[in-house]
């Protein structure tokens, strides 16, 4: 009799899956994609079968003539708890593609796909069903009796300890006759019935004058009060204390003054649940209808770029396309850049599909995530909405994947597997014969290169193929795009404000007009904190993070210096650490300082600030948006967060306080990023019948990103940028691999980087590959989280880059003491 073997992946960074023997009793269930319980050292872990016997032999034989490895001391698979595989063949193949393309261990590729509680260190429970044959006899009977005595269920390992013998076989037998079921549960029970203390504002918002009166000499209470305002009106007491450094006594004082109160709430409610959602517009415009028809007509497995200006009504096209998939009995996935930042989109999807939608957002607990996953897998929910990882949602019979704002960098995963959700979407759609649509007002050059007339530009993933482009060139109701006025900060008349924020008369006047008309304005400043850095005027010292070698950012609420890479806090130095000079000077500007200035210039305006510091608690972002929607905010100011997906018709002015914050970063996409940010934030203005305009303050008015943005000429910019990327070649003209080497000692990082570069050089030479190697060189961010960073760039055709990745990943990543990371198609070279 032949023995059967299976390869099982565990959520670990191992390039080779484990091999196990398949006991005869389990034979029928051990198929690729199935969950199995396997022994690993002294433990039992839940893994996923990635290949069964035949495939094992085939892949072993493929390995360049290597003899089939002897299977020494192979252990048995213990159990296969599910009657249905956890992963469909298409998802498993997507994982395999991802592992191969990005050079990631298969276990990590699968880890990105499956909710954590479903495998790994999970526990297997055995639960009595009360059904099945009457008499079983022997150990099976004893086990059932023992379980009955314990309320009907127990972890199988607890039972095994009681009976002093392994019970897998018996358990499997009981499950097969229907007398018991095996359930995989998270090892750690999730926190249940969590009650949270929150501090919330009470009464009407105080005017600036009232504030001055009430808070004289109560600076800390004022800070707390204003922090609550920025957080949308309330915050968890724990968050205020632990993260923001507020003291108990200040919280108590504010509460007893009547300006705020402490409430106890059952776990923070999911803001999406139970909400009816926004009803979609009833009728498509002729333009939308034409685009939708083309989408519906795409051949299965194919996709298109939906290139529609901001406010052109892309969302309704997505929704109708999803509806068509659902009506055809299939499912759909809608990907958004960051679920917390796009509540309007979620609300629209829910408005159309109600409880057929599973919203996969970061606020879900592990258990809730696993529940959503099961509902989708069983077909009880047919539409999944979520960020990056929702591309793996186990939607049954997938018919459509929507990638909204396909240009967003948050679609790229920052850890292994370093996948790009847009590319995964295209591969998965191909494998499942689903359609896909990539939507944007500012498509990435990578995507747009696929629609350009030159078919020579390679796709980063699939063989050269043209991507049809569907255009929505004008806004709904033919509303004009808002005029963009560039304010040259080098010469424009300024208002003296006492702050270092550049404040032109043009911007000041425009804000005044908006206020007098009772309209709303948005101000973008893409740097959080109060000031970019502090510097000693005497010796020039700039305090840096000791772990990250970047300048610390000055914050006012709570006061301190903070590292924007690792998050560490430091007190503001009273004197210079180097020369002892007493006065430190702040340079550069951040949103906190902007807020201070705007509050002083427009004392009657109701302000909201939106950046990482004001949106760190669950759903705080959602609450700020609600206040804007209700008209309780006159001026919204913030970082790039405010540029995304917001649709507020009463916003008639968008002001970009400093367009140059990212323009000169040492990254070949600096111009593209700046263009996208400007076009997206400009797109928030004039979405309603009142119209609107955009003011952009800059010191580089001649930069192409600004010139094209001022004309809303996205295609012009893309054509310009495509030329720029030709020489020296950068994506999409060439494919790119960034190898980042990091270590705690500077010397070590450098030496390892030189070693890696040599190794790659030899590989390229030996194989005669048409690849170019750049570096080694220190990364622009030379040190992050106490690690020195160097990198080597490899450029060349997509096929050869792929060969290098597949060969190098398992060999380089475990090398020496340094950490080596292969980042294929990187979205940032910093
Ligand atoms: P985009 O995502 O392209 O920037 P949206 O989808 O947010 O644009 O649409 C802009 C605005 O136009 C929204 O307020 C939306 O409700 C409205 N809208 C979209 N389609 C229609 C339509 N067919 N009829 C009326 N209003 C529409
Ligand atoms: Zn740091």
Tell the residue nearest (CA) to atom 26 of ligand 1. 281
Using the atom order of ligand 1, give the atom closest to the CA of residue 278: 16
Pocket test for ligand 1, best of 309, 316, 407, 474 (most atoms within 8 A of CB): 316
For residue 250, which of 220, 284, 219 has the smallest C-alpha distance? 220
| Contact (CB, 8 A) for 789 and 779 | yes
Q: How far is the CA of 564 from the centre of ligand 2 (A)?
A: 7
Q: Return the residue whose CA atom lies nearest to atom 17 of ligand 1.
A: 313
Length of the chain: 830
Beta bridge partners of 638: 524, 610
Query: Closest Cα to atom 25, ligand 1: which residue?
Result: 281
Which is more confident, 773 or 645?
A: 773
Please check whether residue 87 is in contact with residue 73, taking contact to mean a CB–CB distance below 8 angstroms: no
Q: How confident is the model at residue 457 (pLDDT cuts 50, 70, 90)?
A: very low
Q: In the predicted model, what is the mean pLDDT of the chain?
A: 84
Cα distance between residue 226 and residue 577, in whole Å? 32
Pocket test for ligand 1, best of 285, 309, 315, 625 (most atoms within 8 A of CB): 315
Q: Which residue has the higher pLDDT, 487 or 466?
A: 487
The residues near 62 (Cβ < 8 Å, ≥ 6 apart) are none
Q: Is the CB of 674 under 6 A from ligand 1?
A: no
60 lines ligand 1 (CB under 6 A): no
Ligand of minimum distance to the alpha carbon of 292:
1
Ligand 1 pocket member 312 (CB < 6 A)? yes
Q: Residue 719 C-alpha to ligand 2 middle, in angstroms?
A: 38
Joined tokens for residue 638: 């913030």
pTM of the model: 0.82
For the Cβ of 478 lying below 6 angstroms from any atom of ligand 1, the answer is: no
Bridge partners of 778, per DSSP, are 790
Tell me if 729 CB under 6 Å of ligand 1: no
Ligand 2 center–CA 549 separation, angstroms: 7
Each residue of 685-729: pLDDT tens digit? 888 888 899 999 998 898 999 999 999 999 999 999 999 888 888
What pLDDT shows up at residue 67?
41
Which pLDDT score is estimated for 618?
A: 61
Structure confidence by residue, pLDDT tens digits, 747-765: 888 899 999 999 999 999 9
For the Cβ of 647 lying below 6 angstroms from any atom of ligand 1, the answer is: yes
Atom of ligand 1 nearest to the CA of 312: 3
Q: What is the per-residue pLDDT across 782-817, written as a single tens digit (0 to 9) for each?
A: 777 778 888 998 999 999 999 999 999 888 876 667
Q: How far is the CA of 380 from the centre of ligand 1 (A)?
A: 29
- The full 3-state SS of 312-363, as one line of letters, equals CCHHHHHHHHHHHHHHCCCEEEEECCCHHHCHHHHHHHHHHHHHHEEEECCC
Tens digits of residue pLDDT in 76-105: 888 888 878 889 999 999 999 999 999 999
Count of alpha carbons within 13 angstroms of residue 62, beta-carbon side: 6
pLDDT at 191: 43
Residue whose CA lies nearest to ligand 1 atom number 20: 313
In angstroms, rounded to a whole number, what is the distance separating the alpha carbons of residues 115 and 87? 12
Tell me the C-alpha distance between 192 and 269, whole Å: 13
**Residue 819 Cα, ligand 2 centroid: separation in angstroms?**
18
Distance between CA atoms of residues 457 and 452, nearest Å = 9
Query: Whose Cα sits closest to atom 27 in ligand 1?
Result: 281
Is the distance from the beta carbon of residue 311 to the nearest atom of ligand 1 less than 6 Å? yes
User: Which pLDDT does position 66 carry in this prediction?
Assistant: 43
What was the pLDDT predicted at 824?
A: 95
Tokens 């109160």 belong to residue: 261
Q: Whose CA is nearest to atom 24 of ligand 1?
A: 281
Statement: residue 302 has pLDDT above 80: yes
Q: Strand 520-524 to strand 635-638: parallel, antiparallel, or no bridges (unpaired)?
A: parallel
Ordered DSSP codes for 28-72: GG--TT-EEEEEETTEEEEEEEEEEHHHHHHHHHHTTTPPPPP-T
Cα 613 to ligand 2 centre (Å): 16
Phi, psi of 42 (to 5 degrees): -90, 5
For the cut 70, the answer to whether the pLDDT of residue 465 exceeds it is no
pLDDT confidence of 438, banded at 50, 70, 90?
very high
Q: From the CA of 821, how far away is ligand 2's center (Å)?
A: 20
Q: Whose CA is nearest to atom 1 of ligand 1?
A: 311
Question: Which DSSP symbol is given to 475?
Answer: -
How many other C-beta atoms are found inside a 10 Å radius of the C-beta of residue 442?
Answer: 24
| 459: confidence class by pLDDT, cuts 50, 70, 90 | very low
pLDDT average, residue stretch 299-326: 94
Q: Which pLDDT score is estimated for 460?
A: 47
User: Residue 506 pLDDT > 50, yes or no?
Assistant: yes
Q: Can you tell me the mean pLDDT for 275-296? A: 87
- pLDDT at 211 exceeding the cut of 50: yes
C-alpha–C-alpha distance, residues 229 and 227, integer Å: 5
Q: Which residues contact 80 (CB under 8 A, 6 or more apart)?
A: 26, 29, 30, 34, 35, 36, 37, 172
Which stretch of 197-211, 304-318, 375-389, 488-502 has the lowest confidence by average pLDDT?
197-211
Please state at what angle helix 798-812 crosses helix 746-767, rounded to 10 degrees: 130
Q: How far is the CA of 567 from the centre of ligand 2 (A)?
A: 6
Q: To test ligand 1's pocket by mutation, which of 280, 281, 289, 686 has the most ligand atoms within 8 angstroms of CB?
A: 281
pLDDT band at 58 (very low <50, low <70, confident <90, very high): very low
Residue 342 CB–ligand 1 contact under 6 Å: no
Cα 551 to ligand 2 centre (Å)? 9
Closest of 92, 77, 78, 82 to residue 33, by C-alpha: 92
Task: Check whether 230 has a pLDDT greater than 80.
Answer: no
pLDDT at 444 over 90: yes
pLDDT at 572: 82
Structural contact between residues 202 and 259, judged by C-beta atoms closer than 8 angstroms? yes
69 or 656, which is more confident:
656
Residue 626 CB coordination number (10 Å): 16
What digits encode the pLDDT tens for the residues 160-185?
A: 888 888 888 888 888 878 888 887 77
Angle at Cα 563 formed by Cα 560 and Cα 565, nearest 5°? 155
Ligand 1 atom closest to Cα of residue 283 = 23
Report how far apart, in Å, the C-alpha atoms of 170 and of each of 47, 48, 173, 182, 622 are.
20, 22, 5, 11, 51
Tell me the pairing of strands 383-386 and 398-403: unpaired
Q: What is the DSSP secondary structure assignment for residue 27, as one 8-state letter?
A: G
Whose alpha carbon is nearest atom 10 of ligand 1? 311
**Starting at the edge strand that comes first in sequence, how are the strands of the sheet with 123-128 ordered?**
153-155, 123-128, 180-185
Cβ atoms < 10 Å from Cβ of 363: 16
Say if residues 694 and 484 touch (Cβ distance below 8 Å).
yes
Place of tokens 């696929």: 450
- 475 CA to middle of ligand 1, Å? 8
Question: Is the CB–ligand 1 distance for residue 284 below 6 Å?
Answer: yes
Most confident of 13-27, 234-248, 612-626, 672-686: 672-686
Long-range interactions of 53-57: CB distance < 8 A, separation 24+: 53/4, 53/5, 53/6, 53/22, 55/7, 56/5, 56/6, 56/7, 56/19
Q: Cα of 314 to ligand 1 centre, how many Å?
A: 7
Tell me the β-bridge partners of 40: 43
User: What's the pLDDT at 65?
Assistant: 42
Quote the ligand 2 centre to 414 CA distance (angstroms). Answer: 18
What pLDDT does 274 receive?
A: 55
The percent of residues in the chain predicted with pLDDT above 90, rounded, is: 32
Most trustworthy range by pLDDT among 372-376, 416-420, 742-746: 416-420
Best probe residue, ligand 1, of 278, 323, 476 (max atoms within 8 Å of C-beta): 476
**Among candidate residues 317, 332, 436, 432, the one with its CA nearest the CA of residue 385:** 332
| Higher per-residue pLDDT: 70 or 183 | 183
pLDDT tens digit sequence for 469-504:
999 999 998 888 999 999 998 888 888 887 778 899
Is residue 394 within 8 Å of 400, Cβ to Cβ?
no
Q: Are strands 484-488 and 693-698 parallel, antiparallel or unpaired?
A: parallel
- pLDDT of 63 > 80? The answer is no
**Cα angle: 219, vertex 221, 222; to 5 degrees:** 65
């Amino acid at each position: 009799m032949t023995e059967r073997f299976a390869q099982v992946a565990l959520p670990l960074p191992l390039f080779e899956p484990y091999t196990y023997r398949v006991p005869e009793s389990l034979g029928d269930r051990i198929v690729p994609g199935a969950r199995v319980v396997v022994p690993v050292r002294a433990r039992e872990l839940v893994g996923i079968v990635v290949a069964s016997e035949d495939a094992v032999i085939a892949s072993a034989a493929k390995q360049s003539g290597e003899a089939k490895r002897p299977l020494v001391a192979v252990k048995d698979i213990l159990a296969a708890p599910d009657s249905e595989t956890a992963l469909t063949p298409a998802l498993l193949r997507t994982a395999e593609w991802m592992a191969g393309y990005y050079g990631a261990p298969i276990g990590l590729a699968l880890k990105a796909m499956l909710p954590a509680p479903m495998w790994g260190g999970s526990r297997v429970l055995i639960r009595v069903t009360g059904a099945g044959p009457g008499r079983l006899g022997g150990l099976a009977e004893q086990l059932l009796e023992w379980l009955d005595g314990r309320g009907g269920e127990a972890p199988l390992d607890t039972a095994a300890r009681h009976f002093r013998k392994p019970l897998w076989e018996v358990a499997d037998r009981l499950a097969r006759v229907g007398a018991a079921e095996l359930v995989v549960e998270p090892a750690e029970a999730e926190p249940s019935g969590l009650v949270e203390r929150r501090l919330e504002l009470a009464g009407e918002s105080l005017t600036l004058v009232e504030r001055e009166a009430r808070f004289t000499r109560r600076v800390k209470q004022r800070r707390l009060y204003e922090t609550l305002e920025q957080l949308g009106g309330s915050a968890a007491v724990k968050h205020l204390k632990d993260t923001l450094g507020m003291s108990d006594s200040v919280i108590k004082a504010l509460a007893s003054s009547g300006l705020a109160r402490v409430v106890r709430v059952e776990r923070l409610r999911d803001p999406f649940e139970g909400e009816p959602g926004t009803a979609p517009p009833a009728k498509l415009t002729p333009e939308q209808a034409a685009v939708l028809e083309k989408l519906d007509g795409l051949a299965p497995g194919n996709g298109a770029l939906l290139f529609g200006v901001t406010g052109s009504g892309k969302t309704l096209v997505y929704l109708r396309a999803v509806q068509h998939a659902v009506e055809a009995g299939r499912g759909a996935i809608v990907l958004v850049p960051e679920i917390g930042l796009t509540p309007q989109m979620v609300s629209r999807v829910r408005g159309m599909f109600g409880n057929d939608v599973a919203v996969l957002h970061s606020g879900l607990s592990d258990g809730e995530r696993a529940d959503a996953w099961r509902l989708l897998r069983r077909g009880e929910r047919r539409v999944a909405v979520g960020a990056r990882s929702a591309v793996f949602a186990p939607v049954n019979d997938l018919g459509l994947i929507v990638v909204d704002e396909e240009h967003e960098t948050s679609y790229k995963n920052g850890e292994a597997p370093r996948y790009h959700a847009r590319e995964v979407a295209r591969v998965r759609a191909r494998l499942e014969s689903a359609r896909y649509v990539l939507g944007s007002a500012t498509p990435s050059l990578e995507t747009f290169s696929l629609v350009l007339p030159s078919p020579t530009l390679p796709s980063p993933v699939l063989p050269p193929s043209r991507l049809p482009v569907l255009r929505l060139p004008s806004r709904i109701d033919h509303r004009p795009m808002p005029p963009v006025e560039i304010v040259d900060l080098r010469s424009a008349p300024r208002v003296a404000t006492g702050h270092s924020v550049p404040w032109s008369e043009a911007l000041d006047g425009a804000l005044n007009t908006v206020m007098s008309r009772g309209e709303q304005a948005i101000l973008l400043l893409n740097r959080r904190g109060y000031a970019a850095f502090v510097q000693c005027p005497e010796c020039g010292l700039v305090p840096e993070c000791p772990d990250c070698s970047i300048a610390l950012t000055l914050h006012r609420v709570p006061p301190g210096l903070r590292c924007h890479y690792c998050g560490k806090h430091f007190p503001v130095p009273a004197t210079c650490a180097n020369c002892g000079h007493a006065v430190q000077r702040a340079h550069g500007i951040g949103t906190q300082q902007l807020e201070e200035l705007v509050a002083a210039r427009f004392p009657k305006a109701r302000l909201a600030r939106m950046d990482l510091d004001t949106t760190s608690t669950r759903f705080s972002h959602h609450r700020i948006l609600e206040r804007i929607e209700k008209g309780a905010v006159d001026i919204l100011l913030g970082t790039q967060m405010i540029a995304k997906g917001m649709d507020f018709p009463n916003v008639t002015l968008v002001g970009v306080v400093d367009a140059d914050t990212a323009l000169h970063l040492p990254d070949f996409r600096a111009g593209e990023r700046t263009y996208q940010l400007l076009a997206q934030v400009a797109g928030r203005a004039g979405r309603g019948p009142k119209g609107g305009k955009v003011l952009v303050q800059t010191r580089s008015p001649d930069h192409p990103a600004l010139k094209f943005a001022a004309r809303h000429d996205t295609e012009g910019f893309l054509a310009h940028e495509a030329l720029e990327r030709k020489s020296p070649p950068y994506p999409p003209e060439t494919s790119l691999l960034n190898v980042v080497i990091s270590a705690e000692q500077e010397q070590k990082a450098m030496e390892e980087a030189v070693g890696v570069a040599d190794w790659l050089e030899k590989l390229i030479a030996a194989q005669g590959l048409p690849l170019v190697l750049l570096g080694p060189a220190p990364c622009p961010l030379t040190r992050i989280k106490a690690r020195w960073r160097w990198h080597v760039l490899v450029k060349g055709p997509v096929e050869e880059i792929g060969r290098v990745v597949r060969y190098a990943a398992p060999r380089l990543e475990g090398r020496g003491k340094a950490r080596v990371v292969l980042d294929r198609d990187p979205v940032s070279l910093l």
